[in-house]
Amino acid sequence: MSLIITTAIGFGAAALLWIFFRPPFGKNIVRLNTDQRVVALTYDDGPNPPYTEQLLDVLAKHNVKATFFIIGNRIEKHPETANRIIAEGHQIGNHSHSHPLLGFLPPFYVQRQIERTDDLIRQHGITEKVVFRAPMLTRFLPVAYVLAKRDRIHISCDVWSWDWTTQNPDKITETVLKKTKPGSIIVLHDGKAENKNANRSGTIEATDRIITALKQDGYRLVRLSDCLAKAVTS
């Protein structure tokens, strides 16, 4: 009998952990639902002058629009950079106010982090629905619950650049191009969590190379808002 009870407790604990880490409700976008050569470049953790400005220069050179998931306290610190991102036609997304691991925090705190940054983004003239990505993509139960209550989706990805671990442009470029396929959502970083300044010169150089290579391979690069109607959830 004790073995049966122990086994039941084990299965129950495993089920609870599964529900916590893979909530069975809410929408989590991992890639675009298309066989066409379309991909979305996304950037997390900015604004981060001067690197965000340098990145914007590269995107402008290639006439490419991207999606920037920005941190609220960095919008407060660098409003002029946020304004430039918007003015140049890129999409703005919410990446929390201070970049905590929201998936391990209570729902009221998750909600406050999202709402504070939503308010800041609205102050910069954004009127459409704001997309959201949790720090470190921790869409665990508290995050999924808060988003589902508000009928909001979570934006994940299928291509990690790992550029927060290295600023070697060769490695970043190789990692991204190796994993990219039609419909990919690519995550790069123009800033760093916890309101810290970060040298992102490797990401900028890699972006230039990635765009060049993808265009040569027939890809079109878009904002998430251009194609979210066709997306794959998990």
Catalytic residues: 44, 189
Nearest to 188 by CA among 225, 196, 171: 171
Nearest to 133 by CA among 120, 148, 143: 143
Q: What is the DSSP string of 116-173?
A: HHHHHHHHTT--SPPEE--GGG---HHHHHHHHHTT--EE--SEE--TTT---HHHHH
Name the phi and psi angles at 81, rounded to 5.
-70, -40
Q: Please give the full DSSP string across 159-216, using - where no structure is assigned.
A: EE--TTT---HHHHHHHHHHH--TTBEEEEESS-STT-----HHHHHHHHHHHHHHHH
Query: Nearest to residue 143, comparing CAs of 40, 49, 9, 22?
Result: 22
The strand pair at 159-160 and 185-189 is best described as parallel
Q: Cβ distance 102 to 142 under 8 Å?
A: yes
Residue 5's Cβ-side half-sphere holds a number of Cα atoms within 13 Å equal to 2
